[in-house]
A and B are shown apart, each in its own frame.
Chain A
Amino acid sequence: MSVITIERKILEKNDEVAGQNRDIFLRHGIFAINIVSSPGSGKTSLLERTLTHLKKKLEVAVIEGDVQTDLDAQRISALGVPAVQIVTKGGCHLEASLVKEALASVDLSGVQLLIIENVGNLVCPANYDLGEAVKVVVASVTEGDDKPLKYPTMFRNASVMVINKVDLLPYVTCKIDVLKRNALSVNPSLKVFETSCVTNAGIAEWCDWLQKNASKE
């Protein structure tokens, strides 16, 4: 019997390609964000509001990840913003190599902000760096205020949390203060925004933050 010592990170290949993506973003001066959440939290609606608000102020491009269909890319393209759809065909998360392939079909010249919408899933995407500058986790008030405690890895790895659907607060048992407290207990440095895609509450603040960061790159 013999033993061969390896000692390598299992996801080193993904990390390597994520680093290549990061170099591409740096070269083009692009602020890239990776939006993650459970299915149905309103990621695509938030994107639509964000793009409507920002498209005249910033050059934005979008990469959409879904298990099936290009419905989301159609919604984004309808707003006149370039969007590429990645269909994972069952895959529960985006990997850096899928994003790298998608980048090849985006005209990156002039793009200031790249928004990557990950597959709706609060577990698997946490392990996969895509090369983004910031991971944004969306939590909607209809999901309850205990989500950050149940899925700590994702909330820990994110730098920003958007609490969405705040217009529904009067109708749900979720307490926004408890949701925030739970999220901050997992990640004390989390930056928090509160939005509604129905009333547009908080969209301006969220977009100002994006614009400020995208203009810096």
Chain B
Amino acid sequence: MHELSIVQNILEMVREHLPSEASRHLKSVRIRVGDGAGVVKDSLEFCFNAVISETPMQGAVLEIEPVPFVVKCNSCGKTSANESGVFLCLFCGGNDVIMVSGNELHVTAIELFDEKELMV
């Protein structure tokens, strides 16, 4: 359950980009998470909501963009995506593969409410 630590890192980064007096303007945090990054989406959302609850950021949404687990085979040169996260080429069965994507753990952007939207 390292998702709490990951959420704390995310929020620290958000605070660097968002002055504290503007915290209530936070509408969403967009992150990119690889399928092979060893992070559970539901746990991330649970921790995110728990940490921001009763703070000016409460209600902000964590938008998770999943990135498929893709490997490229050094033997046959093909790339294959597999949901099980196994380091095997789905075409030739070889295990001499390099990971092309799936390890991502990035904050990509934050979305803010305008003052006008908050008034409504």
Interface residues of A (CB under 8 A from B): 1-11, 13-14, 91-93, 95, 123-124, 126-128, 149, 152-153, 156, 184-188
Contact B86 A152 (CB under 8 A): yes
Chain A neighbourhood of B95, CB < 8 A: 184-185, 188
- Once the chains are docked, how many angstroms separate the CA of A95 from the CA of B8? 13
Q: Is the interface of A mostly helix, strand, loop or mixed?
A: mixed
Contact A127-B105, Cβ < 8 Å, known A1-B117, A153-B38? yes
Chain B residues whose CB sits within 8 angstroms of the CB of A13 once the complex forms: 9, 12
How does the 8 Å CB contact mask read for B1-27 relative to A, with 1 for contact and 0 for none?
110011001101100011000000001
When the two chains form their complex, are residues A92 and B87 in contact, meaning their CB atoms are under 8 A apart? no
Max chain A Cβ within 10 angstroms of own Cβ: one of B1, B17, B111, B114? B1
Interface contact A127-B108, CB-CB below 8 Å: no
User: Any chain A CB within 8 A of the CB of B65?
Assistant: no
Q: Which B residue's beta carbon lies closest to that of A187?
A: B87
Given contacts A91-B5, A92-B1, A156-B87, contact A8 B106 (CB under 8 A): yes
Q: List 14 A-B contacts (CB under 8 A).
A: A1-B112, A3-B109, A4-B112, A6-B17, A6-B107, A9-B105, A10-B6, A10-B13, A10-B105, A10-B107, A185-B86, A185-B95, A186-B86, A187-B87
Residues of B within 8 A of A92 (CB): 1-2
Residues of B1-57 whose CB lies within 8 A of A: 1-2, 5-6, 9-10, 12-13, 17-18, 27, 31, 36-39
Question: Is the beta-carbon distance between A10 and B106 smaller than 8 angstroms?
Answer: yes
A10–B111 touching, CB < 8 Å: no
A4-B17, A10-B13, A10-B107 are known contacts; what are 12 more A-B pairs with Cβ within 8 Å?
A: A1-B27, A1-B113, A2-B112, A5-B108, A5-B109, A7-B107, A8-B13, A10-B9, A11-B6, A149-B86, A153-B36, A153-B37
Asked if B110 CB lies within 8 Å of chain A CBs, one says yes
B105 partner residues in chain A, CB cutoff 8 A? 9-11, 127
Least Cβ–Cβ distance between B54 and chain A, in angstroms: 22
Nearest A residue to B37, CB-CB: A127
Query: CB of B70 within 8 A of chain A?
Result: no
Residues of B with C-beta under 8 A to A153 = 36-38, 85
A6-B88 contact in complex given A92-B2, A153-B36, C-beta closer than 8 Å: no
Q: Please report the C-alpha to C-alpha distance between residue A152 and residue B95 in the assembled complex, in whole angstroms.
A: 13
Which of chain B's residues have a CB closer than 8 A to the CB of A11? 6, 9, 105
Q: Which 10 A-B pairs have the closest CB atoms?
A: A124-B2, A153-B38, A10-B105, A6-B107, A5-B109, A2-B112, A10-B9, A4-B110, A3-B111, A188-B95
CB distance from A34 to the nearest CB of B (A): 15
Residues in A neighbouring B110, C-beta threshold 8 A: 3-4, 6
CA A2 – CA B115 in complex, angstroms? 11
* A213 CB → nearest B CB, Å: 25
- Which chain B positions have C-beta within 8 A of A8? 13, 106-107
Q: Is the CB of B1 within 8 A of A124?
A: yes
Check A152–B112 contact: CB distance below 8 A: no
Which of A95, A126, A187, A188: most chain B Cβ within 10 A?
A188
